[in-house]
């Protein structure tokens, strides 16, 4: 679907045209899904973000001088995705340790980490960084973008936190 068509459909959908919204969804939902999937790393969350993007399109009319409706839609999807990742990063992980067991991590050690007995010895900010890196699998660059902490500082802080955790577990 070309940008001119997307712009026209966005304006019509924001004016209440349900058929325009349906056509816009059918023409762009798949590409938005594949855009957010690598960020979210979860098919269900990606599908939710695509739907939330279209809900947002209905709530906020397109800017009057909109040049690229596609870019505007991608911006909304990107922002919703990053907000979702940030929210999820600060939630405690579930008790399901099956994905870590395949990496050779001892379930007993994981259960101690999850229960908070080990992580509670770390300052809260370091605890969040460890959870983002070790358990959520984000790269240093992604964590830096989420938290605003420079990448070199992150590496040093996480290394120190790992050393503290090793001392506690041993």
Encode pLDDT of 54-63 as tens digits.
Answer: 998 888 888 7
Range 41-45 contact pairs with CB under 8 angstroms and sequence separation of 24 or more:
41/137, 45/84
Q: What is the rounded distance in angstroms from the CA atom of residue 114 to the CA atom of residue 39?
A: 25
Give the pLDDT confidence score for residue 103 in this predicted structure. Answer: 42
**CATH entry, 98-169, from 3.40.50.720, 1.10.10.10, 1.20.120.1200, 3.40.50.800:** 1.10.10.10
For the chain, give every domain's residue range. Answer: 3-89, 98-169
DSSP state of 93: P
Which has more pLDDT, 1 or 87? 1
Check whether 159 has a pLDDT greater than 50. Answer: yes
Model pLDDT for residues 5-38, shown as the tens digit of each residue: 988 898 888 888 889 989 999 999 999 998 888 8
Cα distance from N-terminal residue to C-terminal residue, the chain:
59
Domain 3-89 has CATH 1.10.1740.10: yes
Model pLDDT for residues 92-141, shown as the tens digit of each residue: 444 444 444 444 444 445 444 444 566 777 787 887 887 777 766 778 88
Q: Are 114 and 130 in contact (CB under 8 A)?
A: no
Give the pLDDT confidence score for residue 91 in this predicted structure. Answer: 55
pLDDT-derived band at 68 (thresholds 50, 70, 90) equals confident
């Amino acid at each position: 679907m070309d940008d001119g068509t997307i712009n026209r459909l966005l304006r019509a959908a924001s004016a209440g045209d349900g058929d325009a919204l349906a056509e816009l969804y059918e023409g762009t939902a798949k590409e938005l899904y594949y855009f957010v999937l690598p960020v979210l790393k979860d098919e269900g969350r990606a599908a939710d973000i695509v739907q939330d993007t279209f809900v947002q399109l209905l709530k906020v009319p397109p800017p009057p001088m909109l040049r690229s409706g596609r870019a505007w839609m991608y911006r909304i999807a990107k922002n919703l995705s990053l907000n979702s990742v940030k929210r999820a990063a600060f939630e405690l992980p579930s008790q399901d340790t099956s994905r870590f067991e395949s990496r050779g991590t001892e379930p007993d050690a994981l259960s101690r980490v999850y229960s908070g007995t080990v992580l509670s010895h770390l300052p809260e900010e370091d605890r969040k960084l460890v959870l983002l890196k070790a358990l959520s699998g984000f790269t240093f660059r992604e964590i830096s973008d989420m938290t605003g902490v420079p990448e070199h500082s992150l590496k040093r802080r996480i290394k120190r936190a790992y050393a503290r955790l090793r001392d506690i577990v041993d």
